[in-house]
Amino acid sequence: MKEYALILVSTILVNNFVLVKFLGLCPFMGVSRKLETATGMALATTFVLTLSSVLSYLVSSYLLVPFGLEYLDIIAFILVIAGVVQLTEMIVHKVSPLLYQVLGIFLPLITTNCAVLGVALLNIQKENTFIESFLYGFGASIGFSLVLILFAAMRERINVADVPAPFKGAAIALITAGLMSMAFMGFSGLVQG
Amino acid sequence: MLEAILVLAGLAIVFGLLLGFAAIRFKVEGDPVVDQIDAILPQTQCGQCTYAGCRPYAEAIANGEADINQCPPGGEQVILELADLLDREPKPLSEEHGVEKETKTVVVIDEEVCIGCTLCIQACPVDAILGAAKQMHTVIAEECTGCDLCIPPCPVDCIHIVPVEETLETWTWPYPADESQDESDQEPVEGANHA
């Protein structure tokens, strides 16, 4: 039980995928303009990341390893991720057309969110079990959601703040992201791994 | 080798079936009326109907907020097709939204006078104006829809309207105007094909 909690703390705070491992930066910068879209994106990514983490674990341990096809893991995982993203897109389109319109191109782009493939590959590398890979994927997506929503909230504030002209827009956003990243580095040492 | 192919093909088939099932299960009932109206509109995105583009205008028509006679670029042809689609009475083009042009026009920029202010580039709804700040601009004639939205912002009045000359490539038989009105009851698609 303790190690499960440690996995969650580790992926959410200590080894945060965005701010410490620097994976998934594209949606982090791209959809953090508004809190509402960021929340939607966070939910969609949470769903995709968790599901694809579990599915890619299953594919890996029941298909690839028994046939000795570990060298195909990247292409197989990409297949899994693409399928899950497509499914998510259909569900979002059905359930919330507004969110579908707001997320726009970023929804199919979850496919190319490197955090998703990163989690699947790290699961194999760390030799995680089924529950561990579920928690690893879930923790990673919660960590992603956490920083995405925090960052979006900050950017909304920064929009109305008196920023010096040369730093307006993307520049101050990148500086903010850097400061956030440094703050998250402060968690290192909390958990090993 | 064979295993690898079979495993990947199997995976792809499983996901394909799953997605195919999901496509039916989560089928989205789009608003086909809006799509149909949007298909009739000329897609100049000129905003003369007071909406932000052809799609918003199509949505407004479908919601009953806008009338069908607010599209000057489409003119009588579009009004007739819309009236036919929506089963409403055709009416003349609303004057407050503009007048239909007799001939197709495009704009040209007098490059001697242009000061490169980029105001017309920002006004162009179809990105038909090429140029950069303090460089002279020019109009891509094939892209220009003749909406004339770039004329009011120009500070030096260097944009002029010119009619498009008919060449051997662009000439077509004139539409039998009165006939198409009568036929439109039976064959609504007929006019759309010509347009």
Per-residue pLDDT of A77-95, as tens digits, reads 999 999 989 888 888 888 8
Q: Quick one: pLDDT at residue B44?
A: 80
Residue with tokens 């968790």: A50
Q: Quick one: pLDDT at residue B17?
A: 93
Residues of B in contact with A56 (CB under 8 A): none
Q: Quick one: pLDDT at residue A142?
A: 94
Any chain A CB within 8 A of the CB of B21? no
- How far apart CA B105 and CA B161 sit, in angstroms, is 6
The 10s digit of each residue's pLDDT in A130-172 is: 999 999 999 999 999 999 999 999 999 988 888 888 888 889 9
The 10s digit of each residue's pLDDT in B169-191 is: 777 777 665 544 444 444 444 44
Span A26-53, average pLDDT? 86
- How far apart CA A52 and CA A120 sit, in angstroms, is 7
- Tell me whether residues B3 and A59 touch, CB distance under 8 A: no
Q: How confident is the model at residue B124 (pLDDT cuts 50, 70, 90)?
A: confident
Percent helix, strand and coil across chain B, each to the nearest 5? 40, 5, 55
Q: How confident is the model at residue B31 (pLDDT cuts 50, 70, 90)?
A: low
| Nearest-Cα residue of chain A relative to residue B7 | A63
User: Residue B107: beta bridge partners?
Assistant: B161
Any chain B CB within 8 A of the CB of A101? no
Cα Dmax for chain B:
72
Q: How confident is the model at residue A34 (pLDDT cuts 50, 70, 90)?
A: confident
The 10s digit of each residue's pLDDT in B82-100 is: 888 888 888 888 777 777 7
Residue with tokens 């089924």: A130
Q: Quick one: pLDDT at residue B12?
A: 92
Q: Is the confidence at residue A19, as pLDDT, over 60?
A: yes
| Nearest-Cα residue of chain B relative to residue A62 | B7
CB atoms inside a 10 Å sphere around CB A152: 22
Q: Quick one: pLDDT at residue A147?
A: 93
Q: Quick one: pLDDT at residue A151?
A: 94
Percent of chain A clearing pLDDT 90 (strictly above):
29
The 10s digit of each residue's pLDDT in A110-125 is: 888 888 999 999 999 9
- Tell me whether residues B26 and A91 touch, CB distance under 8 A: yes
Size of interface A-B (CB pairs under 8 A): 46
The count of residues in chain B is 195
- Tell me whether residues A67 and B3 touch, CB distance under 8 A: yes
Q: Quick one: pLDDT at residue B177?
A: 57
User: What are the start-end ranges of the H helices in A60-129?
Assistant: 73-95, 97-103, 114-125
Q: Quick one: pLDDT at residue B9?
A: 92
Query: Token pair for residue A168?
Result: 């307006």
Facing residue for A86 by CB, picked from B4, B7, B19:
B19
